[in-house]
């Protein structure tokens, strides 16, 4: 038996389309070899390939004319915040315009939708829904508070040294534009409620949940990124607080466990205490308790003279 010729280096470890196979001069016989498996129409997988979402999404969108990656898959690829129960989902969502037949592939969730050209972008060679459009697409499945948390993360100012981008994913205005464009989408009522509660200045989803818990309990809506000296770039800031009452509130997530971050946190804490503020720090234990104890503590502080 004639030995199987090796695949080109750029195809040997990723899914690829029949068009890419032709461009690499692979014959029909080579595509029927035992080291390749069909992944549906116009798509091939190298033997031993382990699931890897970006390469599969790229190949599937390329093999499906007119389609783009959307919904949950778009959120995962872009690294958008998602609740824990969705973070490891392997469902692959592809959307098509209503003028084309719905995507029908094994392992793919197909959608036929109304989408404008500026709601789809090219990201690392993949046609994909914009973050604002992805937020609206997920309104049908996300609970209200999670949809608000995702919106908070879309509009926050990124930390360029960590995220390699200098601009927010979206703006509140862009999210509102989505609501105007698509008034009959599933989840639109929830999305309208969510956009009214989205705020800039939230660094993490637990901070959103803390803010919402305080509001739901009847407390005044807290300010965000509260500095001891407003407008001073060197002044320490707390995640939330009430300036008039000199109350500062901090949520410490997992990244606060590093020695460097703990040193920064200690300096910030000392600055608030020295300035005479009442200062509260909450963590994952409070989050697991839906911030009931935290809300009670803040309520009592607001009642004190």
- For tokens 């080291």, name the residue: 35
pLDDT in tens, 120-178: 999 988 999 999 999 999 999 999 999 999 999 999 998 877 777 889 999 999 999 99
Q: What is the pLDDT of residue 50?
A: 64
CA angle 219, 202, 118 (to 5 degrees): 125
| Domain boundaries defined on the chain | 1-50, 54-195, 205-303
Kindly state the percentage of the chain with pLDDT values over 90.
Answer: 57
> Across residues 41-68, what is the average pLDDT?
75
- For tokens 């995702």, name the residue: 150
Looking at per-residue confidence, does 279 or 59 come out higher? 279
> Across residues 171-190, what is the average pLDDT?
96
Q: What is the CATH number of domain 205-303?
A: 3.40.960.10
Phi then psi dihedrals of residue 14, to 5 deg: -135, 155
1 pLDDT band (50/70/90 cuts)?
very low
pLDDT in tens, 42-53: 666 676 666 567
- Report pTM: 0.83
**Distance (Å, rounded) from C-alpha 281 to C-alpha 205?**
16
Looking at per-residue confidence, does 101 or 106 come out higher? 101
Looking from the CA of 258 toward its CB, the CA atoms found within 13 Å total 4
The helix/strand/coil state of 237 is strand
Q: What is the pLDDT of residue 259?
A: 67
Residue 124 CB partners (closer than 8 Å, separation 6+): 54, 58
CA angle 70, 200, 140 (to 5 degrees): 30
Burial class (CB in 10 A: 0-12, 13-18, 19+), 31: middle
- Average predicted confidence (pLDDT) for the chain: 87
Looking at per-residue confidence, does 105 or 96 come out higher? 96
């Amino acid at each position: 038996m004639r030995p199987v010729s090796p695949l080109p280096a750029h195809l040997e470890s990723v899914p690829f389309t029949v068009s890419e196979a032709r461009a690499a001069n692979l014959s029909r016989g080579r595509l029927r070899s035992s080291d390749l498996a069909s992944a549906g129409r116009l798509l091939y997988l190298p033997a031993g390939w382990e699931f890897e979402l970006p390469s599969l999404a790229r190949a599937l969108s390329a093999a499906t004319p007119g389609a783009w990656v959307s919904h949950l898959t778009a959120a995962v690829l872009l690294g958008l915040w998602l609740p824990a129960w969705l973070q490891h989902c392997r469902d692959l969502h592809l959307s098509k315009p209503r003028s084309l037949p719905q995507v029908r592939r094994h392992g793919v969730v197909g959608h036929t939708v109304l989408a404008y050209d500026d709601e789809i972008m090219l990201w690392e060679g993949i046609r994909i829904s914009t973050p604002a459009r992805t937020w609206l697409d997920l309104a049908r499945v996300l609970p209200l508070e999670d949809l608000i948390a995702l919106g908070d993360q879309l509009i926050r100012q990124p930390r360029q040294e960590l995220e390699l981008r200098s601009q927010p994913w979206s703006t509140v205005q862009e999210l509102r534009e989505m609501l105007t464009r698509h008034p009959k989408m599933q989840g639109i009522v929830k999305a309208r409620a969510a956009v009214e509660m989205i705020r800039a200045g939230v660094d993490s989803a637990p901070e959103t949940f803390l803010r919402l818990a305080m509001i739901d309990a009847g407390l005044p809506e807290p300010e965000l990124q509260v500095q001891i000296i407003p407008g001073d770039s060197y002044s320490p800031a707390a995640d939330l607080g009430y300036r008039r009452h000199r109350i500062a509130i901090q949520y410490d997530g997992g990244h606060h466990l590093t020695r460097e971050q703990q040193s920064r946190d200690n300096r910030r804490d000392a600055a608030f205490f020295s300035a005479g503020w009442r200062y509260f720090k909450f963590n994952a234990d409070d989050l697991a308790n839906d911030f009931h104890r935290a809300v009670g503590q803040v309520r009592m502080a607001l009642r004190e003279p």
